[in-house]
Structure 1
Amino acid sequence: MKFVHAADLHIDSPLRGLEHYEGAPVERVRLATRSALENLVKVCIEEEASFLVVAGDLFDYDWRDFNTALFVVKQIQLLKRHDIAVYVIRGNHDSRDEMSYRVPWPDNLKLLDHRNPETVLIEDLGVAVHGMSFPKRELHENLVPRYPKPFKDLLNIGLLHTNATGTLDHDSYAPCSVNELVAKGYDYWALGHVHQYDVLHDDGPRVVYAGNTQGRHIREQGEKGCVVVTVEHQEITSLRFRSTDVLRWRRETIALQPEDGIDELHDLAEVRLKAIAGEVDGRLTAVRLEVQGRCRAHQRLVDETRRQETVARLRSLPGEFTDDLWVEKIKLDTRPPLDRDQLRQGQDLLGDLLRAFDATAADDAALDALGAHVQKLATKVRTDLADDEIDFSSRRQLAAWLRTAEDDLLSRLTEQGV
């Protein structure tokens, strides 16, 4: 037997601001969450899954018109034709209080109760599905103690929309600990809310975030999808992640050298984008280019007209070789190049500073003293820095840190005109 675990579909989640970007693939991006649901249904059918569980946030918010609901109903009906049941809990985005419409769900979908945890027994499969929908968006209660005890001789699956890892990227709704989930005695916890696939516990009870089915912005990079769970003789034998996304987001940094001008920037960006285009395999990819470095190009980029010309030129690059690549945004963080040798000879603050850095980097005793001071400071400020992975006695590491500090100070002091 197999079942599929998905969460955080956020159907018809609005992607604001696209109209401000000339050439943005607005329609493909707008329909991405719907296409991801279609892919999820295909996975369920291809895997011959017995059922699908959705751990919250099927919808993003109350929809503007009923077409959103009708689209989802059509996909659930397709699963019904393949005898695939669907068990759903509401999350913070589609909590009972957030949704004003009543959906005409097919009878193969079961929406679990929002007042108390509910258990659905699938007797022919030997499965018990436990779960509770969010009654309201702001739910800060730990729901785990309210969930029922596991049923003996059945495969027990818990559906929960929660921030079980305490990640700061997501609100702390229905908070709990992994230890609490494991101690409950279920065989599988199907979690939602955190938009990244993650297996929190794999030894005995499986505690799993499926992540979202489709990344919606640059903070949700990488592959998105669902989890296919295989069960044999009432025991989970394997977990397999399958992608459902039709749009992927990624950041790319282009580091410019002092001699690099606008033409070099263009050439480097073209090479990078062509390489990405060779990897997308027909999937739309949104790339944010982040251009950094002290470089000759900076002089032109500080001029607003030249800056806009450069941005437009870079944005147009993918159109020369693919329709599946979109430069979502370009961030220009360049600075004028510096002649360090000339600065080092100066009889001023910058010259004194650079010569002091050189003297410390060349003096073993000074590096040893610096290492002891940094280790003491790390212990006071943040004890988790003082672990085995950081060797405060490594003179090579300390010298590298000195050069990094030198770069940072030079940037700050030269920008302030010191």
Structure 2
Amino acid sequence: MKFIHAADIHLDSPLTGLCAYPDAPAQMLRSATRDAFTNLINEAIELQVDFLVIAGDLYDGGWKDHNTGIYFCREMGRLKKAGIDVYVTLGNHDAESEMTRKLILPDNVHIFESRKAQTFVLDDLKVALHGRSFKDAATTENLAQTYPDPVPGMFNIGVLHTALGVQSTHANYAPCTIDELYAKGYQYWALGHVHEYQIWQGASTIVFPGNLQGRHIRETGPRGAVLVTADEGGVQKVERLLVDVLRWHSVSVDATGCGSMEDVVHAINKELGAVVDGTPSNMPSAVRITITGKTPAHGELFGMEAQLRAEVLASAAAIGSERIWIEKVKTSTTASDDTDAIRSRGDALADLQELLEEAQTDPEFLASLKDDLMALVSKAPLELQNAVPYFRDIRSGDLAGLVSEIRPGLVSQLARME
């Protein structure tokens, strides 16, 4: 017996973080969650699975129009022709209270009710599926406690949308514990809500398949569902089915050994090449690059994010616009510690360094600097004022840290320019 367990599909939820860039794959960003779901249905039909389980958050919330539901019905119709039934719990995003629009679904789709736990028995497969949907988005009741005892002689599956009580990055909906799930006596728990793949194998097999398609930079790496193979002895195999159509990567580039921006760009090129080499040839990648390290290039990089991004975009374009997109380039470097070397020079640059060191604790200078910078801040757009941490420091007058941060890079860059 084989079935697919999926969760957190979030149909028609847009991918975020790339839309503002002219080089972004706009059509793919709009259709990625649908394309990944279509890939899942293709896999179910090709593998001839016995059924499909969706453990919550099929939808991202109420539909803007009926097109989302029409698309889902079309894909379910494909499964019906293949003789595959679908069992769905509603999660916090598509709870009954959230869905203001509905359509009559094909009769191979079975939605677990929300008033109490419900069981579907598949006599021919000797399978019993137990589940309960969310009535309200913010469901904090321990739903697992309301699930029935296992059906004797059956392969029992619990379908549950839950934070499992240990997932700090996700809202603690329908909390329960791993030990509680083991104690229930089911052979398999099909969970949803947590977007990362996780598996526990003890008294029963407990699985979060993760979401079907990464939607932003916090959801990096391969995404998909799981294929479960079972027999009279229980779960025999759990395999990941990767169906995502665009993959997110967060890449850290160590610039410690780089002496210039050009060296940094070469280091980035190497990392981008590794991303492409490690990703399927038909799979585009969205990449965030963070440059770290104590480097002589810090002064050249400081304040040059626009130029650096242009350089990286050019590198990505050379690789191929169908393979890689740059989500963001972040600079988190620090200057090389050459303070003593500059001080020993005894020239104008050494004098400037000393003045800047003294400025960090000079109240009169810091007050004057705040007045000058506030003239700039007051003209900046509101979204920029909220986005740039330095602007908050300027408004509060807390400028000692800003001067301290700028000094090494500024002096280092002036030394390089001589």
- TM-score (normalizing by structure 1): 0.80
Residue 307 (structure 1) aligned with residue 305 (structure 2): yes
Contact between 1:126 and 1:234, CA under 8 Å: does it hold in 2?
Answer: no
TM-aligned CA deviation for residue 301 of structure 1 = 2.8
Match of 1:120 in 2: 120
Match of 2:58 in 1: 58
Matches within 5 A, 1:13-412: 13-16=13-16, 18-200=18-200, 202-233=201-232, 235-257=234-256, 259-281=258-280, 282-303=282-303, 306-322=304-320, 323-339=322-338, 342=341
Residues 60-99 of structure 1 show CA distances to partners (whole Å, capped at 9, x for unaligned) of: 1112111111111111111111100000000000000000
User: Counterparts of 2:407 and 2:340 in 1: how far apart (Å)?
Assistant: 18
User: Counterparts of 2:279 and 2:16 in 1: how far apart (Å)?
Assistant: 24
User: Counterparts of 2:165 and 2:174 in 1: how far apart (Å)?
Assistant: 11
TM-aligned CA deviation for residue 233 of structure 1 = 2.4
Given residue 209 of structure 1, which amino acid in structure 2 is its aligned partner? F
Structure 1 unaligned residues grouped into runs of 5+: 347-410
* Secondary structure of the structure 1 residue equivalent to 2:190: strand
TM-aligned CA deviation for residue 264 of structure 1 = 0.6
| Identity among equivalent pairs (%) | 38
TM-aligned CA deviation for residue 17 of structure 1 = 5.2
TM-aligned CA deviation for residue 259 of structure 1 = 4.9
Deviates most, 336-345 or 55-64: 336-345
User: Counterparts of 2:344 and 2:315 in 1: how far apart (Å)?
Assistant: 43
Given residue 313 of structure 1, which amino acid in structure 2 is its aligned partner? E
Q: CA 1:336–1:416 in 2, change beyond 3 Å: closer, same or farther?
A: closer
TM-aligned CA deviation for residue 220 of structure 1 = 1.0
TM-aligned CA deviation for residue 165 of structure 1 = 4.5
Structure 2 unaligned residues grouped into runs of 5+: 346-400, 409-418
* Secondary structure of the structure 2 residue equivalent to 1:75: helix
Residues 140-176 of structure 1 show CA distances to partners (whole Å, capped at 9, x for unaligned) of: 0001111111111011111000011421110000000
Deviates most, 53-62 or 10-19: 10-19
Match of 1:3 in 2: 3
Q: CA 1:209–1:108 in 2, change beyond 3 Å: closer, same or farther?
A: same
Deviates most, 294-303 or 314-323: 294-303
TM-aligned CA deviation for residue 47 of structure 1 = 1.9
Q: Aligned residues, how many?
A: 352
Contact between 1:300 and 1:307, CA under 8 Å: does it hold in 2?
Answer: no
Contact between 1:155 and 1:234, CA under 8 Å: does it hold in 2?
Answer: no
Contact between 2:289 and 2:329, CA under 8 Å: does it hold in 1?
Answer: yes
Give the aligned CA root-mean-square deviation in angstroms.
Answer: 2.3
TM-aligned CA deviation for residue 335 of structure 1 = 2.6
* Secondary structure of the structure 2 residue equivalent to 1:230: strand
* Secondary structure of the structure 2 residue equivalent to 1:293: strand
Deviates most, 279-288 or 256-265: 256-265
Q: CA 1:415–1:18 in 2, change beyond 3 Å: closer, same or farther?
A: closer
Deviates most, 29-38 or 132-141: 29-38
User: Counterparts of 1:252 and 1:20 in 2: how far apart (Å)?
Assistant: 20
Match of 2:360 in 1: none
User: Counterparts of 1:37 and 1:416 in 2: how far apart (Å)?
Assistant: 48
Residues 174-196 of structure 1 show CA distances to partners (whole Å, capped at 9, x for unaligned) of: 00000000101111110000011
TM-aligned CA deviation for residue 334 of structure 1 = 2.3
* Secondary structure of the structure 2 residue equivalent to 1:299: helix
* Secondary structure of the structure 1 residue equivalent to 2:316: helix
TM-aligned CA deviation for residue 209 of structure 1 = 0.9
TM-aligned CA deviation for residue 234 of structure 1 = 5.8
TM-aligned CA deviation for residue 275 of structure 1 = 2.3
Contact between 1:274 and 1:318, CA under 8 Å: does it hold in 2?
Answer: no
Q: CA 1:234–1:312 in 2, change beyond 3 Å: closer, same or farther?
A: same
Q: CA 1:43–1:253 in 2, change beyond 3 Å: closer, same or farther?
A: same
TM-aligned CA deviation for residue 341 of structure 1 = 6.2
Contact between 2:95 and 2:135, CA under 8 Å: does it hold in 1?
Answer: yes
